[in-house]
Structure 1
Amino acid sequence: MKTLLDIKQLTFAYAQQPLLQNINLTIDAGQVGCLLGPSGCGKSTLLRLIAGFEQPQSGTVMIDHLQVTGDHHMLPPQQRQVGMLFQDLALFPHLTVQQNIAFGLQHLPQEQRRQRTAELIQLCRLQKLNTRHPHHLSGGQCQRVALARAMAPKPKLILLDEPFSSVDRGLQSEMAQEVKSMLQADGSTALWVTHSLEEAFAVADQMGVMLNGQLLQWGTPVELHDQPASPDVIRFLNQANLINGQLNPESRLDTVLGTFDLCNADQFMPGDILQIGLSKHLLQVSTPTEGSKAIINKCIYQGGHHVLTATLTNGDQVQLFHHQSIPVGQSIQLKVSNPQPVLGFAIS
């Protein structure tokens, strides 16, 4: 598959304060990449570097095998063939839907401009709205107009900066899937920035977690969910529990939840204190005669299941899902179903 976006060792500082450190990622043509991270971690700054609004201290950005940034070379934003969908959408209030979409097509002959605009109005389901102005549209309709405008010139890459930050959480996943289907139908490649796990897992072909200006992991959603590369990724994704243990002479990790095989046991010495991540779905309430003791701290109903928070005998806190309510303060037994080899992490 053809690589469309290739970023290598990208570093950026502002007023001598480092904001991005050695960022490496690739996105294949026709795919959607998602960057996850808390506010202030550098996600939007990375988009600005790709678009050409900022210049990095070092590193390269390649778009469709053309170097647009690097080696003291910086291609102007208007020559990068990059479209951008901003948080505030930035629609022109005095222009109609049709005029907003056609705004970036002034360089085309009139007939081609008309055809491309009509194509996007159809693709984004705006047929009955093309003569309306933005203040007569719903939030979701404005999102579709802004996306159509970004796609109109057929840029090689579209950057989306938290496009659903103002949308109700329950609608984020649905709207994200809708936007992804439009991008795919138009053959677009995109880098999508968000702090919403639900949104990212709904659209990403590849995704990564950023924290304090560093890209901690970049891979498929399945890889990040099933094989998180660090405790920080585990904490951010909140899909697994961090459990402490000690490596025994057989290079297996002894924990209060049992003994586990490690994928990377050769990196450690017997006696080392390590952490592992165990998916919340692997923890089960067991019969009184098996498993490890824990005390229930919280029990929250989440529609169809309860989320239990419990404290293990060594003080570690874990979360798991259970079909029925268990009173706070009650003692239970926990076991791990179908344990697989896991990555061990040194405790810093």
Structure 2
Amino acid sequence: MAGITLHSLRLSFGQTRAVDGVDLQVPPGAFFALLGPSGCGKTSLLRLIAGLERPGSGSISIGAREVAGPGRFVEPGARGLGMVFQSYALWPHMTVAQNVAFGLNRLSAADRAARITEALQTVGLDGAAARRPHELSGGQRQRVALARSLASRPSLILLDEPLANLDAHLRQSMLAEFRRIHQSLGTTFVFVTHDQNEAMAIAGLVGVMDRGRMAQVAPPQELFDRPATPMVARFVGEGRTLPVTVTALAQGRATLRLGDHSVTLPGIAQPGPAWLCLRQRDLALSTTSAGLGAQVIDLRFERGDYILSVLPDAPDLTEPLEVRSPTPAAPGARVRLTLRSGWVMPRAGGAAETAPDCEPARPLERAQG
């Protein structure tokens, strides 16, 4: 097992700063997910850890060993890690066993055969050694790529969007397989994805990136319940961020004004302008005349309930909220909302942050030997 330490790490492609001063510590043996929208820098950060890119500045340590820093750069093959690409990168003319053996040429024939058997057994493909990649399903090819990484017995496994090419059913089964393998081996895993459900389901620790920076690193439940920034609040769990004014803060609870409604909720924002993060679970239709007034602007039927899109009666609120209801309400109808929970965070001023739409161009992947 090897942990990862990044200090003030930066990488630019021309005028685009893909990684912008990232500091990060991943404990040994962790299953760490790197999450964010396209263009946030997560794949660039993974490639820096792998040694497929050289940092412009900063340092990278794997375990106690610095592998990149001022005047120092350790090539990918000497970093003691395995990597699984989104494309699998399997040799089509080789058998499964030959693909898994790629990079084990320094071992004796007997040791190489033992490693192949061990790796294929670990991923549940011990009966497929003689088959070729075109004879396998997408999930099986993914397992071969993982077995190849495991065969070298690395202290660190990097997975770059490994489930992106699989259908929904296969993604779920491979998530369970990754969890099983991680638990059995204890190897440190770093899993890059843009899918929050994948990250939250598989990882014990999640880092959310935003425009090249690490916005927050926390366990999944903390990211969901206590986001550190508006971007994290919106990206994780499809939260809505509303501008509010905090009137008091005491013992981790903020009293705020939302329109003509006053409420006290968990939060960290000092008195003054703030953001309120709300999700469907935080709202309910009021059964009395109390609560925040709102107008229904749309509805849909989903999983046995009606989902109402409502616009609260509050200044500067132009983004609708969603609330679940057992009965429909026609667009234009007036309702009142009860805020059951939520999370209040600081607002520095200005609009909520946005993320770029696409990732900067980068060199093609190069295979590790």
Fold equivalence (TM over 0.5) = yes
In structure 1, the residue corresponding to 2:331 is in which secondary structure? coil
- State how far apart, in whole Å, the 1-side matches of 2:258 and 2:239 are: 16
Structure 1 match to 2:282: 282
Once the two structures are TM-superposed, the CA of residue 329 in structure 1 deviates from its matched residue by 3.0
> In structure 2, do the counterparts of structure 1 residues 306 and 129 end up closer, same or farther at CA, with 3 Å as the change threshold?
farther
Once the two structures are TM-superposed, the CA of residue 262 in structure 1 deviates from its matched residue by 5.9
Once the two structures are TM-superposed, the CA of residue 20 in structure 1 deviates from its matched residue by 1.0
Letter in 2 for 1:334: L
Within a 5 Å distance, the mapping from 1:114-263 to structure 2 comes to: 114-169=113-168, 171-248=170-247, 252-256=255-259, 258-261=262-265, 263=267
Within a 5 Å distance, the mapping from 1:46-57 to structure 2 comes to: 46-57=45-56
Provide Cα deviations, 1:234-279, integer angstroms capped at 9, x if missing partner: 12124432222223378731113532256434x44xxx33222133
In structure 2, the residue corresponding to 1:307 is in which secondary structure? strand
Within a 5 Å distance, the mapping from 1:260-275 to structure 2 comes to: 260-261=264-265, 263-265=267-269, 267-268=270-271, 272-275=272-275
> In structure 2, do the counterparts of structure 1 residues 322 and 189 end up closer, same or farther at CA, with 3 Å as the change threshold?
farther
In structure 2, the residue corresponding to 1:346 is in which secondary structure? coil
Letter in 1 for 2:196: L
Structure 1 match to 2:294: 294
Structure 1 match to 2:107: 108
Once the two structures are TM-superposed, the CA of residue 171 in structure 1 deviates from its matched residue by 4.1
- State how far apart, in whole Å, the 2-side matches of 1:174 and 1:258 are: 46
Unaligned segments of structure 2, at least 5 residues: 351-369
Once the two structures are TM-superposed, the CA of residue 86 in structure 1 deviates from its matched residue by 0.6
- State how far apart, in whole Å, the 1-side matches of 2:148 and 2:297 are: 50
Provide Cα deviations, 1:210-253, integer angstroms capped at 9, x if missing partner: 12111111111111111100111112124432222223378731
TM-score normalized with structure 2 length = 0.86
Letter in 2 for 1:259: V
TM-score normalized with structure 1 length = 0.91
Retained in 1: the 8 A contact 2:96–2:144? yes
Aligned equivalent of 2:324, options 321, 341, 344: 321
Structure 1 match to 2:357: none
In structure 1, the residue corresponding to 2:183 is in which secondary structure? helix
Structure 1 match to 2:307: 307
In structure 2, the residue corresponding to 1:343 is in which secondary structure? strand
Within a 5 Å distance, the mapping from 1:27-46 to structure 2 comes to: 27-46=26-45
Retained in 2: the 8 A contact 1:275–1:347? no
> In structure 2, do the counterparts of structure 1 residues 344 and 306 end up closer, same or farther at CA, with 3 Å as the change threshold?
farther
Retained in 2: the 8 A contact 1:7–1:24? yes
- State how far apart, in whole Å, the 2-side matches of 1:171 and 1:325 are: 36
Structure 2 match to 1:347: 349
- Looking at both structures, which has the greater relative contact order when contacts are Cα pairs under 8 Å and sequence separation is at least 6? 2
Question: Is 1:94 aligned to residue 97 of structure 2?
Answer: no
Once the two structures are TM-superposed, the CA of residue 40 in structure 1 deviates from its matched residue by 2.0
Letter in 2 for 1:253: L
Once the two structures are TM-superposed, the CA of residue 151 in structure 1 deviates from its matched residue by 1.2
Question: Is 1:19 aligned to residue 18 of structure 2?
Answer: yes
Aligned equivalent of 2:337, options 334, 339, 347: 334
Unaligned segments of structure 1, at least 5 residues: none
More displaced stretch, 176-185 vs 211-220: 176-185
- State how far apart, in whole Å, the 2-side matches of 1:285 and 1:171 are: 38
Provide Cα deviations, 1:282-301, integer angstroms capped at 9, x if missing partner: 21112142211222233233
- State how far apart, in whole Å, the 2-side matches of 1:25 and 1:142 are: 32
Retained in 2: the 8 A contact 1:20–1:213? yes
Once the two structures are TM-superposed, the CA of residue 21 in structure 1 deviates from its matched residue by 0.6
- State how far apart, in whole Å, the 2-side matches of 1:65 and 1:295 are: 58
More displaced stretch, 149-158 vs 13-22: 13-22
Q: CA RMSD in A?
A: 2.2
> In structure 2, do the counterparts of structure 1 residues 67 and 336 end up closer, same or farther at CA, with 3 Å as the change threshold?
same
- State how far apart, in whole Å, the 2-side matches of 1:178 and 1:299 are: 38
Retained in 2: the 8 A contact 1:172–1:198? no
In structure 2, the residue corresponding to 1:208 is in which secondary structure? strand
